[in-house]
Amino acid sequence: MFDLLEIWFWRLDLAIATAVTASVLFFARGTPTGRWIQKLFWLGCAVGLTWEVPLFLSATFADNPVLLVFSSPPVPPLALIVFHSLWDGGLFLAGVLLVWWACPRPIFQRFSWRELLVLILWGQGSELLVEVGGVTNNAWGYSGELAWNPTLFHLEGHPITLLPQLIWLAAPIVYYLLVLRFIRRDSD
């Protein structure tokens, strides 16, 4: 029974990344707004690669990895890096949608603490949900044995650690500043 849950978790993981990407490519095309949405998605994917690559390299090659893969994913590590960066692009795009709902228009035209706060709060909450999903389905988690990645708390015997929360504290700031820069560049 437990193996079946792991298999479905990995398949759902890959299916969501694929569905988000296909949706962005299909629905966000042909209009200026659609092209803007696609740019924001791919920018999020690129930002996500900045941690997905080192984390998965750690899981694959390090003697003391920070990322622990508990069950075998149905794709090789390189493909998993790509799929998870697509997830990151989708998460950033969902953050943009939250900014659109929560902040006055126009959005992303100049620096706004409110916009940044929405992205940071979304990043923190979504990271925690994704990590909880990984550990509760016995798919992956982070090592709490490393001094520079202390355990915040345990969930079903697995540590929930500080490093991913710090990543998703810094990443929305970087993403937000890049979005502001790209929008300014596009409007010139």
> Are the C-beta atoms of 112 and 103 separated by less than 8 Å?
yes
Distance (Å, whole) CA 121 – CA 126? 8
Alpha-carbon dihedral sign for residues 162, 88, 128, 135: negative
Kind plus residue range of the DSSP H or E element containing 174: helix 162-187
Q: Are 103 and 118 in contact (CB under 8 A)?
A: yes
Structure tokens at 180: 């502001």
pLDDT tens per residue, range 148-188: 999 999 999 999 999 999 999 999 999 999 999 988 777 65
User: Can you give 98-127 as a three-state secondary structure string?
Assistant: HHHHHCCCCCCCCCCHHHHHHHHHHHHHHH
For the chain, the 3-state helix, strand and coil shares in percent, each to the nearest 5, are 70, 10, 20
pLDDT at residue 1, as a whole number = 44
Return the minimum-mean-pLDDT range out of 27-31, 101-105, 149-153, 166-170.
27-31
CA distance 84 to 74: 13
Mean pLDDT, residues 123-143 = 95
User: The tokens of 105 are what?
Assistant: 């228009």
- Tokens 């998605």 correspond to 41
Among the listed residues 123, 90, 100, 77, the one whose alpha carbon sits nearest the alpha carbon of residue 22? 90
Mean pLDDT of all residues in 24-37: 90
In this prediction the pTM is 0.93
